[in-house]
A and B are shown apart, each in its own frame.
Chain A
Amino acid sequence: MAYSEKVIDHYRNPRNVGSLPKDDPNVGTGLVGAPECGDVMKLQVRVNPVTRVIEEAKFKTFGCGSAIASSSLATEWVKGKTVEEALQIKNTEIVRELNLPPVKIHCSVLAEDAIKAAISDWKRKSGLAEAAPTGAPAAAAPAQE
């Protein structure tokens, strides 16, 4: 199976490879794994707490070319977006951009999951309740009163 030119480009010149300090309160880390091939992908974002804009994104992926390209592209796309905008990125857009064949669609799913995981980690750290429907700024479980 031949990789598309865009995949090869991202694979040879991956953007934003590296890592951000995990303990930085403005950094969110997403670590996800692919059931189909055992790939592991780490994606990190640094969010401006005031504007909620993702100012920096880094990734490190162990896996096939498509997984690397998907995460590389994901970091490019989230940069400059607000967390809300970044959460709108769909794996199908990655598939289209990289011309991923059907057998590699799970790589794009992984990248989407990584973005979501990184942002939810950042939200958790910032005390923004992820699960609470009311958006109450508490990490504790919502008490029924």
Chain B
Amino acid sequence: MSETQTLTSRELHCWSCGAAAGGAHFCPSCGKIQPLPPDIDYFTFFGLPRRLGLDAHALEAIYHELSWRLHPDRFAQASEAERRLSLDRAAQLNDAFRTLRDPVRRVEYLLWLSGRRREGETRQQAPPELLEEVFELNEVLEELRQARRNGGDGTAASLRRQLEAEQQKLETMLAAVDKELAEAAAAWDRALDSGAAVEPLFDRLNQILNRRSYIRNLVENVRQELAAD
């Protein structure tokens, strides 16, 4: 602990008055805006515990308050250095908010923070229970393309309806996965609270995320195909 403190102590002291700033947005002593600690995560940035359950209203309230306090417009008369710091923090604020307010991205981020998931990692593996769905969907897509090529308007219209039904099915699946993800996230928080092992939950969360991204891609494909008319 003392080691990390030594490493970052320079950043953790106010650049202006030298008081201990502890990575806060503003120096508690002189009120000057502070640089971002290099290893700060989004939860810490918002002053929130590293948990998956998050009160959306509370998050939004903090966001609004911080975006007002950190906004570069408020530093128009300040020094060049302070203007840059406000830009840094405002940019970080927006990234952090976009990530934390989305329950899926929040899980992805937490897994990434824990070294359990590389950024942008999505496995294209078709989960076995989805194969049937994927196959049927591909069939309808193929028929639709063929009908379009042949100019069969009647057939295309009926296939379109079929595709819309498929889309509905996929959206339902997506909703079910989201529910599963929310449950696993709650289980993760409960494990944290009770001091139980979170290890098995990492795998579960990862699996759910992978299945979700697969279904999401299918939804996206169908959406594009339906929009191609």
Q: Which residues of A are in contact with B by a Cβ distance under 8 Å?
A: 31-38, 40, 42, 60, 62
Contact = CB atoms under 8 A, between A and B. Distances in A.
Contacts of B120: none
Interface in B45-74: none
Nearest to A41: B135
Interface of B: 123-126, 128, 131-132, 134-135, 138-139, 142
The listed residue with most B CB atoms (<10 A of its CB), out of A32, A34, A62, is A62
Nearest to B133: A40
Contacts of B138: 40, 62
Given A37-B124, A38-B124, A31 B142 contact: no
Contacts of A40: 126, 131, 134-135, 138
A33 B142 CA distance: 18
A60 B135 CA distance: 9
A35 B130 CA distance: 13
Contact of A62 (B124, B132, B135): B135
B123 to A, nearest CB: 8
A31 B135 CA distance: 9
B28 to A, nearest CB: 53
A34 B135 CA distance: 12
A17 B164 CA distance: 27
Contacts of A38: 124-126, 134
Contacts of B123: 35
Given A40-B138, A62-B138, A62-B142, A33 B132 contact: no
B229 to A, nearest CB: 22
Q: Lowest 4 CB-CB distances: which A-B pairs, in order?
A: A33-B126, A62-B138, A35-B125, A38-B124
Nearest to B132: A31
B219 to A, nearest CB: 14
Contacts of A34: 126
B135 A42 contact: yes
A46 B141 CA distance: 27
A40 B125 CA distance: 11
